[in-house]
């Protein structure tokens, strides 16, 4: 479905991504993990068209996206849920969800919008209970659910999730990842950027590790969960061999 080939990206003269290769097949959850500043969000933004491609190519369902703007990418099924949620705080839950469906449903029948919204309320019942409440007054977990719901209103084939657990309590994090698994079961393909590596790898099929803009490791989620470098760098394990120097901050 998604094929990222030799992708580079820049901020001025600073190289943020260096010849990154990544694939996501239909029906997968693929996790992208790495430290702060590794380039994870930049890669999502390149895929969604929010950051310019500095080299290489991005293909989606066999289509070269190099000349496709962000709006057109949403139209073909790539939807990003950004870090920090970026909701419209004064608008109600219902109005935020309607904004997510704007591209597909503008000028269309209201019944189509209601059908999409009913699906979101099935996944997130609390949003149905708060449909007329201002988004800015929701709890952090509820706001993240609304951000995910707004993404689903765009009818994604590929959902790009950027740090969905950021700033949430552990019980809420567990619920968010349960929902992500449910979305995959319902047919949504997910590329997940997440600093909570353990939680991400538990729900993912495969994963990639980025280190300062370069692809450092890749494999099945189970392989990376058992990888000693990943354990030391991301999972809080410090089981280096006796006499070995301490592990560095990256993989």
Query: Alpha-carbon dihedral of residues 183, 153, 104, 194, nearest 10 degrees?
Result: -60
Phi, psi of 96 (to 5 degrees): -65, -40
CATH class, domain 1-77+156-241, is alpha beta
Name beta bridge partners: 60: 2, 63
> What pLDDT score was predicted for residue 73?
95
> What pLDDT score was predicted for residue 246?
39
Average confidence score pLDDT of the chain? 89
Instruction: Give 90-116 pLDDT, tens digit per residue.
Output: 999 999 999 988 876 665 556 677 888
250: confidence class by pLDDT, cuts 50, 70, 90: very low
167: confidence class by pLDDT, cuts 50, 70, 90: confident
Is the pLDDT reported for residue 170 higher than 60? yes
2-11, 111-120, 171-180, 210-219, range with the lowest pLDDT? 111-120
17-21, 146-150, 196-200, 230-234, range with the lowest pLDDT? 230-234
* 7 vs 242: which has the higher pLDDT: 7
Structural contact between residues 52 and 42, judged by C-beta atoms closer than 8 angstroms: no
Is the pLDDT reported for residue 232 higher than 90? no
Instruction: Give 45-76 pLDDT, tens digit per residue.
Output: 999 999 999 999 999 999 999 999 999 999 99
* 43 vs 35: which has the higher pLDDT: 43
User: In sequence order, which residues have a C-beta less than 8 Å from that of residue 60 and are 6 or more positions away?
Assistant: 1, 2, 3, 73, 76, 77, 78, 158
In terms of average pLDDT, the best of 20-29, 114-123, 239-248 is 20-29
> What pLDDT score was predicted for residue 235?
73
Is the pLDDT reported for residue 175 higher than 70? yes
The domain spans of the chain are 1-77+156-241, 87-154
């Amino acid at each position: 479905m998604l094929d990222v080939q030799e992708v580079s990206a820049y901020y001025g003269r600073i190289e943020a991504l260096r010849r990154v290769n990544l694939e996501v097949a239909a029906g997968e959850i693929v996790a992208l993990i790495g430290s702060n500043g590794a380039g994870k969000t930049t890669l999502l933004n390149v895929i969604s068209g929010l950051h310019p491609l500095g080299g290489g190519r991005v293909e989606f369902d066999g289509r070269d996206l190099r000349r496709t703007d962000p709006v057109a990418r949403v139209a073909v099924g790539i939807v990003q849920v950004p870090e920090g949620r970026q909701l419209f705080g004064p608008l109600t839950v219902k109005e935020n969800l309607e904004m997510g469906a704007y591209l597909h449903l503008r000028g269309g029948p209201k019944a189509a919008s209601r059908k999409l919204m009913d699906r979101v309320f099935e996944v997130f019942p609390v949003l149905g209970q708060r449909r007329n409440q201002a988004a800015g007054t929701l709890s952090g977990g509820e706001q993240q659910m609304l951000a995910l719901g707004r993404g689903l209103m765009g009818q994604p084939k590929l959902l790009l999730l950027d740090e969905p657990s950021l700033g949430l309590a552990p019980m809420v994090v567990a619920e968010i990842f349960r929902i992500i698994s449910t979305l995959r079961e319902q047919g949504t393909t997910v590329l997940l950027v997440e600093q909570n590596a353990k939680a991400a790898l538990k729900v993912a099929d495969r994963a990639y590790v980025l280190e300062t803009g370069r692809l450092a490791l890749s494999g099945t989620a189970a392989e990376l969960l058992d990888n000693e470098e990943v354990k030391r760098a991301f999972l809080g394990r410090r089981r280096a061999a006796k006499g070995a120097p301490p592990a560095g901050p990256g993989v």
